[in-house]
């Protein structure tokens, strides 16, 4: 009889652990989605204070997602997203923002450690390699290579096209850059991506006028 109770107790214990893990995973998934939605609201908002409030709220929710399940890749990616948006709210991040940069990169690297094929994380990694100076780990050629792979895996990728277009515009590949930018703008409009349409329009205009952001 005691053996029966012991087996039953162990079974209940393992079931409890399984249920707790499932609940934590679900909670992390839900919180991650909420954090990314909040970050998206910040991108669309036009007033700086409103944007920052959305990003700060997204950071709080993303940290809650990580607390719920530290092994949930999307939780770390949602924190990466809001940290990155906060860093560049007044323009591209500067070398002086080392602490914020290191924390942001830790979250991106953790995302890819947990989910090596995470498309959005790969796109972000490629973008950073293209845009960051070499002193901060930038590597334009490697970044473009990663972004081209992103487009192969996700044909509707917008940001990857825009970043490649800007990067190759001065390398004698102006026609390809224009095509990439035009395609990116079309996709952004088709998907009603209000956060990316202005950037796509600006990139295309710069290329058509023979100017760039560099």
pLDDT of residue 48: 92
Q: What distances in angstroms separate CA 188 from CA 34, 90, 192, 194, 198, one per listed residue? A: 22, 23, 6, 8, 9
pLDDT of residue 102: 86
- In the numeric block, which tokens belong to residue 142? 């490697």
pLDDT of residue 134: 86
Q: Which residue has the tokens 């939780």?
A: 75
- In the numeric block, which tokens belong to residue 165? 């277009």
Instruction: Provide the H-helix boundaries in the chain.
Output: 2-44, 48-68, 73-87, 98-114, 119-131, 140-153, 159-168, 174-190, 197-208
Least confident interval from 93-97, 123-127, 145-149, 160-164 = 93-97
**What does the radius of gyration of the chain's CA atoms come to, in whole angstroms?**
21
Per-residue pLDDT for 166 more than 60? yes
pLDDT of residue 9: 41
- Please choose, from the candidates 26, 58, 27, 62, the residue with its C-alpha nearest in 3D space to the C-alpha of residue 40: 58
Per-residue pLDDT for 167 more than 70? yes
What are the pLDDT digits (tens) for 83-101? 999 988 877 654 445 567 8
Q: What is the mean pLDDT of the chain?
A: 86
CB atoms within 10 A of CB 101: 20
Mean pLDDT of 171-175: 90
- Please choose, from the candidates 96, 73, 97, 74, the residue with its C-alpha nearest in 3D space to the C-alpha of residue 85: 97
- Please choose, from the candidates 139, 84, 134, the residue with its C-alpha nearest in 3D space to the C-alpha of residue 107: 84
pLDDT of residue 66: 96
State percent of the chain over pLDDT 90.
70
Domains of the chain, each with CATH number or no CATH: 1-116 (1.25.40), 119-214 (1.25.40)
Separation between Cα atoms, residue 15 and residue 32, nearest integer Å = 25
Per-residue pLDDT for 1 more than 90? no
- Please choose, from the candidates 54, 32, 30, 34, the residue with its C-alpha nearest in 3D space to the C-alpha of residue 43: 54
Query: pLDDT higher for 32 or 92?
Result: 32
């Amino acid at each position: 009889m005691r053996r029966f109770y012991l087996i039953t107790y162990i079974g209940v214990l393992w079931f409890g652990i399984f249920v707790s893990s499932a609940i934590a995973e679900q909670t992390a998934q839900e919180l991650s989605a909420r954090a990314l939605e909040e970050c998206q609201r910040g991108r669309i908002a036009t007033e700086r204070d409103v944007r920052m409030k959305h990003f700060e709220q997204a950071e709080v929710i993303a940290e809650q997602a990580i607390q719920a399940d530290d092994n949930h890749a999307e939780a770390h990616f949602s924190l990466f997203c809001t940290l990155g948006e906060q860093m560049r709210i007044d323009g591209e991040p500067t070398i002086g923002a080392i602490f914020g940069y290191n924390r942001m990169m830790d979250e991106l690297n953790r995302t890819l450690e947990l989910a090596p094929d995470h498309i959005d994380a790969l796109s972000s990694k490629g973008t950073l390699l293209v845009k960051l100076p070499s002193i901060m780990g930038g590597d334009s050629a490697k970044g473009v290579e990663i972004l081209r792979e992103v487009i192969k895996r996700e044909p509707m990728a917008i940001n990857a096209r825009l970043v490649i277009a800007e990067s190759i515009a001065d390398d004698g590949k102006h026609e390809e850059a224009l095509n990439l930018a035009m395609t990116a703008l079309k996709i952004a409009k088709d998907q009603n991506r209000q956060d990316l349409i202005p950037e796509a329009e600006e990139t295309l205009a710069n290329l058509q006028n023979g100017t760039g952001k560099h």
